[in-house]
Structure 1
């Protein structure tokens, strides 16, 4: 017998695609190459047109010297980079505090029973207030209001107060994300856990929260990316020499805005990888279709 059965040597004959299958594969490869070529050409044409339009504008020479001066960038880079590490420290500590406090707020808002009504009301009012206030107002109120109280044992460090304002604002947004994740867990999960003898707190800890957190990781990562950018707003408190403040000082000394561009590039170097990681994680978890973006 001939075909795909075992040969005299005991091996199995390899499968060979039909002529029609070979033709289909070749067509698909040709279409893929054509799509890549079109994408590259269109991108080059559009970007080239934009660059040409900007470079050929009447004020390009002055704009280049004012915003993209290599000498000023080189001289101010060290100070801006040292200030940027302050932003990184504020962002890191604030992110941990934001997630922790936001989870506590979400748990407070999901407590059942009349005895917890005051706690639910306080948590709800807190979330409504800090979600409704602009971050810059919270920074001003905390950064200048807390020192004005002259409380014993309370720090007047503008960096700490700026981080506190970030935590107060972003924990309100974060709590709503956690609450949505908790409420997305099907009630049958709670019922099954209680039928096995778990208490309400154990059910929340071992059954509900693991599923809720896994469901809301992408929006939480988006909040962290936003927090990264807004950490630069602590510069409005004056004494905190972060990257934006350092750029402002360098700009005042040189009458050139290039230090702001340097600070922007440093923030991009941090936020773009975080954004791409969020996008990739969302695709892997199935939160976005292939090719989608947050």
Structure 2
């Protein structure tokens, strides 16, 4: 009997794994209580009567909070990365300390600190009340992560680009703004898009600060519908929120994958 080639063995392993996956899924379908799943996770009234609030309030606020946090965090990240790359040592120390601090703290702790700790300690509350404080906290955390992403992108730009610009008489700031930064931004588009996806999910942490009815994001709305409304006592509202999160994040994750493939081909 002739021996199998390496390609044939790999194909056989893949087919075996596919068959095992199908068997596992089929077994779960057979043993599952479909009636209990339908009544607890897919209650019709929970979808038909709540969809408008979920889409026009919950999903809208989730996207709005994400965009505000991302734009604010990106501006902060630009300032931080320029400070970290500056020739002035105190600027580098301050930027490094900030980045390490906010990368090491959980986003939830920063949100609570900004919403409740800062007003108590300093008698000052960010614009927008507790929601505004939560968004500022997300900006602070996102800015720290995006600053490191931007730094990696700037350092990935060949040094010959900077040397060529300086040889043409361009000063340091102008070289950074017109030569280095545009190339760095193209490099870091995929990781920055990943940060955007993370921010979409981190907006769910804002439920801890309390919200008015028209300020609720998807997670808060789903939690409230679990205790009131047509699907009270079931997880239908959570399933609805999960589907909307996926509808927002999956296109972005596919965009990241496409951008990464495009960058590999360009290299």
SS of alignment partner, residue 194 of structure 1: helix
* 1:135–1:169 contact (8 Å) kept in structure 2: yes
Mapping for residues 1-294 of structure 1, pairs under 5 Å: 48-57=22-31, 59-81=33-55, 82-112=57-87, 116-149=88-121, 151=123, 154-155=126-127, 157-239=129-211, 240-253=215-228, 254-286=232-264
Distance 2:94 2:53 in 1: 43
Distance 2:106 2:125 in 1: 28
Give the Å deviation of 1:213. Answer: 1.3
**TM-score, L = length of structure 2:** 0.84
Distance 1:232 1:64 in 2: 26
Give the Å deviation of 1:188. Answer: 2.4
* 1:282–1:288 contact (8 Å) kept in structure 2: no
Q: Specify the structure having the higher radius of gyration (Cα).
A: 1
**TM-score, L = length of structure 1:** 0.76
Task: Pick which of 46-55 and 94-103 moved more.
Answer: 46-55
Distance 2:82 2:119 in 1: 31
Structure 2 residues without counterparts, runs of 5 or longer: 1-10
Give the number of aligned pairs. Answer: 250
Deviations along 1:149-194, one digit per CA (max 9) or x if unpaired, are 4645743522222211111111111000100111122222222211
Distance 1:66 1:153 in 2: 41
Structure 1 residues without counterparts, runs of 5 or longer: 1-34, 290-294
Give the Å deviation of 1:47. Answer: 6.3
Distance 2:74 2:141 in 1: 12
* 2:125–2:133 contact (8 Å) kept in structure 1: no
Give the Å deviation of 1:42. Answer: 7.8
Task: Pick which of 180-189 and 151-160 moved more.
Answer: 151-160
Note closer, same or farther for the CA distance 1:265–1:50 as it changes in structure 2 (3 Å cut): farther
* 1:77–1:259 contact (8 Å) kept in structure 2: no
Give the Å deviation of 1:147. Answer: 3.4
